[in-house]
A and B are shown apart, each in its own frame.
Chain A
Amino acid sequence: MTIVACGVAGGSTDDAAPIAIFGPYRGSDADRWIEVIHAYTEPRGLEVRYIGSEDFVVDLQQRIGEGNDPPDLAVVPQPGFVIELAEEEAIAPLGDDTVAEIEANYPAALVELIDQDDEVFGVPFRLTMKSLVWYRPEVFDNNGWSTPETMAELADLVDDIDNTDDIDPWCIGLEAGSATGWPATDWVEDLVVRNLGTTIYNRWADGDVPFADPRIEASFDEFRELALDGTRAVGGLTGVVETAIDEAVDPLFDNESGCALYKQADFAVEWMPDGIDIGPDGDVDWFVMPPTSAEEVAPVVVGADQVVQFTSSDDIDGLMAYLAGPDAGASWAAAGGFISPKSTISVEVYNDATDAELTALIQQEPPLVFDASDQMPVEVGSDLLWSEITGWVSTPGTYDDFAETIDTALAAADEAR
């Protein structure tokens, strides 16, 4: 049986073709998103139809391919998919007005990230921060643990926790149906960018540094040693592979915590118990996965949903420039569960304390990299890599085969373009 979920939002009153927007937001996210869009379109009397689909990538590929029914705009979470769409010439570079708005309203590091040989194809709209480690301050206090400042301190802390009775260092769960495995890619990405720096990380993400490279393998080894070996993670390797992503955090909140640390993006809050208090004195708090040395600023792996345009008209170009403008997204920031990449939406706008802190962190301009798997061709980065890395996690000693499979697939995808 296939389960899919879709949402449609908007308000069409006549038969003139409305602006068609496609994306991954559903439910209340779709409500917040259409609210942002309506702020531009309603005063101008423009009709909009937004459709959000769980199977967004497959659906969009079908729409622009055999379906021959492309939307006018789409929200694309994978930078690799944006590049793919640009190479297929399904989308055009953004107009000058939109690019000018991006340059005026976004941190330089982010503008650099989306720059494709001096062309920009997407308006970054929603940011996801991957490099967070969640923990319970009370558990740390009771055991005399403190949050680590460097990766070496993190390794020591993990050893400490591992030697403590009745609690394992990490909660990890990879099971997510057809997307099983993605949290493991986030883990490795954070280690690669810390060990090798942003330049080599980006070359790896672009396919110029292969998985077979010993430096990349070293980060995979570090992941295994830090978080997978022996009793590092709740339930051992079987637990890691079979635990659903949205249930992985549960042991952290058990009366007797089953784990002390949980590495997951900001959106993991929605998998935590309702009404928990986040902060140093709260039920749960977070730190950014530390840098290798105390002198460095910890790099942050981010995901950015980008708005791309398939068609061009004055209305659509105007809407894109508005989305890149200083205010679009402020209403969602105020509503919560949203981080804008814009430096022009001030931290004060955010009503949710965690959103505000994460925004403040981004506005301090740490080294930023995009999620590497999101940059790879989607058939690898959002498919094969997930299943293969799950296989590697569950069967130690298979790195060479794993690397060869992925490198071959990346080369084939490159060839096909």
Chain B
Amino acid sequence: MTTNQTAFGAITTAVRRWTPDPPSPDAQAAIEELVPDEDLGPYLGRFSILVVLSASIAAFGLLADSAAVVIGAMLVAPMMTPITAAAAAVVMAMGKRLIRALLVIVVGTVAAIAVGWLTSFVAGAEVTAVNDLPGEVTSRTFPGLLDLGVAISAGAAAGYILPRRSATSALPGVGIAVALVPPLGAVGITLEVGARDLAANALLLYLTNLAAIIFAASLMLLFSGFRPANRQGRNAVTGGLIFTLAAVIAVAVPLTLHTQSAIRDVSLQRSVSSAVVAWDDTVRIVEMNADIVGGRADVELLLSGPNAPQPAWRLAREIDSRFRGAVDLRLFYQRDELFEVSVR
């Protein structure tokens, strides 16, 4: 080891020195069968049909707000195969195989988004605006660091299971844990209703899963003894791993910001709720939109109460004393009105 080696290089060197038994021919074959080396056509045909079917199931399940159907779609989805093939190609420094696998992934990604869009266009008559989006869709538009943790664990599991044919019964669990097709369906559906922000977030969730699985599965395959044949290949492995790690970090940055902003928004919403009670404990919150935009609390409230409203500036001050920062408040106030009528 030379002194100017990077920490990452040091780790891969150490891993290389710790040499587990090379994989059995059966394990090797299990990996090589993932995406065929030649005659990609028939494979791509089967793959595309499964993507379209699973994406339709996912899109219908998302629109119907049915978690069970969406899980069904995860089990039909074939995306894990090319993704783990890509991980294996990284570890074994097989450039062509990597490109083929990535190509298949791109085809699947585009097809799944298109199916989501089309399904929403044709069948989503009730879903025409952001506010109509079912919970199954919106829950996929706010990825956080937890999703990254899930994807890394599941990617490692995939890397462990794939070379071991005896363990493949566990593979559907991996598919469910990282759910690749439903986020793509959510991208299509949100695009169809014109919610680009939400679509970008759902895509981020998918990219998180993609990058994390390739990275974690690569490491796991490396530990399972998969190696390139020659020394040049070993350098390529380091490069490949660095690249996939960089991809993981690239998605982790927006995820971290997302997670932080989600935590801050929740804490702001708590502050607003308690400020409303302190302001006037006879009012109810009918609707609340509170988020932090550029360091300031942007709060829109619809309150309803039996009495005339207390001065709004006092509510702003109550929020400020809890949130401690700039606040912009828009308050809509409805006076509860009671009408009693008798007819004899």
Interface, chain A (partner B; CB < 8 A): 1-13, 22, 26-27, 30-31, 49, 51, 53, 55, 58-59, 62-63, 67
CB-contact partner of A49 in B309, B315, B320, under 8 A: B320
Q: Are B325 and A5 in contact (CB under 8 A)?
A: no
Task: Give the residues in chain B near A51, CB-CB below 8 Å.
Answer: 313, 316-317, 320
Q: Are B328 and A27 in contact (CB under 8 A)?
A: yes
Q: Are A3 and B330 in contact (CB under 8 A)?
A: yes
Q: Given the interface contacts A2-B309, A55-B312, A67-B311, does A8 sit within 8 Å of B334 by beta carbon?
A: no
Closest 3 pairs (CB-CB, A-B): A6-B316, A4-B312, A8-B327
Tell me whether chain B's interface is mostly helix, strand or loop, or mixed.
Answer: mixed
Q: Are B331 and A7 in contact (CB under 8 A)?
A: no
Tally of contact residues, B, Cβ under 8 A: 20
Cβ-based interface call for B329 (8 A): yes
15 more CB-based (< 8 A) A-B contacts, given A1-B334, A3-B332, A7-B316: A1-B332, A2-B332, A4-B333, A6-B312, A6-B328, A6-B329, A7-B326, A8-B319, A8-B320, A8-B329, A49-B320, A53-B312, A55-B312, A58-B311, A63-B311
Cβ-based interface call for B324 (8 A): yes
Q: Given the interface contacts A1-B332, A2-B333, A3-B332, does A8 sit within 8 Å of B316 by beta carbon?
A: yes
Q: Are B320 and A5 in contact (CB under 8 A)?
A: no
Q: Are A5 and B326 in contact (CB under 8 A)?
A: no
Q: How far is the CA of A32 from the CA of B332 in the complex (A)?
A: 26
Q: List 25 A-B contacts (CB under 8 A).
A: A3-B332, A4-B309, A4-B330, A4-B333, A5-B328, A5-B329, A5-B331, A6-B312, A6-B313, A6-B327, A6-B331, A7-B316, A7-B327, A8-B316, A8-B320, A8-B326, A9-B326, A10-B326, A49-B320, A51-B313, A51-B317, A53-B313, A58-B311, A59-B312, A62-B311
Q: How far is the CA of A8 from the CA of B327 in the complex (A)?
A: 5
* Closest residue of B by beta carbon distance from A69: B314
Q: How far is the CB of A25 from chain B (nearest CB, A)?
A: 12
Q: How far is the CA of A4 from the CA of B302 in the complex (A)?
A: 11
Task: Give the residues in chain A near B316, CB-CB below 8 Å.
Answer: 6-8, 51, 53
Q: Are B333 and A6 in contact (CB under 8 A)?
A: no
CB-contact partner of A7 in B315, B328, B332, under 8 A: B328
Q: How far is the CB of B312 from chain A (nearest CB, A)?
A: 4
Q: How far is the CA of A26 from the CA of B312 in the complex (A)?
A: 13
Interface, chain B (partner A; CB < 8 A): 309, 311-313, 315-317, 319-320, 324-334
Q: How far is the CA of A8 from the CA of B321 in the complex (A)?
A: 10
Q: How far is the CB of A414 from chain B (nearest CB, A)?
A: 28
Q: Are B332 and A12 in contact (CB under 8 A)?
A: no
Task: Give the residues in chain A near B327, CB-CB below 8 Å.
Answer: 6-9
* Closest residue of A by beta carbon distance from B319: A8
Q: Are A3 and B326 in contact (CB under 8 A)?
A: no
Q: Are B331 and A3 in contact (CB under 8 A)?
A: yes
Q: Which of B312, B313, B316, B324 has the most CB of A within 10 A?
A: B313
Q: Are A4 and B331 in contact (CB under 8 A)?
A: yes
Task: Give the residues in chain B near A4, CB-CB below 8 Å.
Answer: 309, 312, 330-331, 333
Task: Give the residues in chain A near B319, CB-CB below 8 Å.
Answer: 8
Task: Give the residues in chain B near A6, CB-CB below 8 Å.
Answer: 312-313, 315-316, 327-329, 331
* Closest residue of B by beta carbon distance from A26: B328
Q: Are B311 and A59 in contact (CB under 8 A)?
A: yes
Task: Give the residues in chain A near B334, CB-CB below 8 Å.
Answer: 1
Q: How far is the CB of B289 from chain A (nearest CB, A)?
A: 14
Task: Give the residues in chain B near A12, CB-CB below 8 Å.
Answer: 320, 324
Task: Give the residues in chain A near B329, CB-CB below 8 Å.
Answer: 5-8
Q: How far is the CA of A313 from the CA of B85 in the complex (A)?
A: 74
CB-contact partner of A59 in B313, B320, B325, under 8 A: B313
Q: How far is the CA of A117 from the CA of B91 in the complex (A)?
A: 89
Q: How far is the CB of A181 from chain B (nearest CB, A)?
A: 24
Q: How far is the CB of B319 from chain A (nearest CB, A)?
A: 7
Q: How far is the CA of A49 from the CA of B320 in the complex (A)?
A: 9
Q: How far is the CA of A31 from the CA of B296 in the complex (A)?
A: 11
Q: How far is the CA of A51 from the CA of B316 in the complex (A)?
A: 8
* Closest residue of A by beta carbon distance from B328: A7
Q: How far is the CB of A104 from chain B (nearest CB, A)?
A: 33
Q: How far is the CA of A5 from the CA of B311 in the complex (A)?
A: 11
Task: Give the residues in chain B near A62, CB-CB below 8 Å.
Answer: 311
Task: Give the residues in chain A near B328, CB-CB below 8 Å.
Answer: 5-7, 26-27
* Closest residue of B by beta carbon distance from A3: B332
Q: How far is the CB of B196 from chain A (nearest CB, A)?
A: 22
Q: How far is the CA of A30 from the CA of B325 in the complex (A)?
A: 13
Q: How far is the CB of B331 from chain A (nearest CB, A)?
A: 5
* Closest residue of A by beta carbon distance from B296: A9
Q: How far is the CA of A45 from the CA of B177 in the complex (A)?
A: 53
* Closest residue of A by beta carbon distance from B323: A8
Q: How far is the CB of B185 from chain A (nearest CB, A)?
A: 38
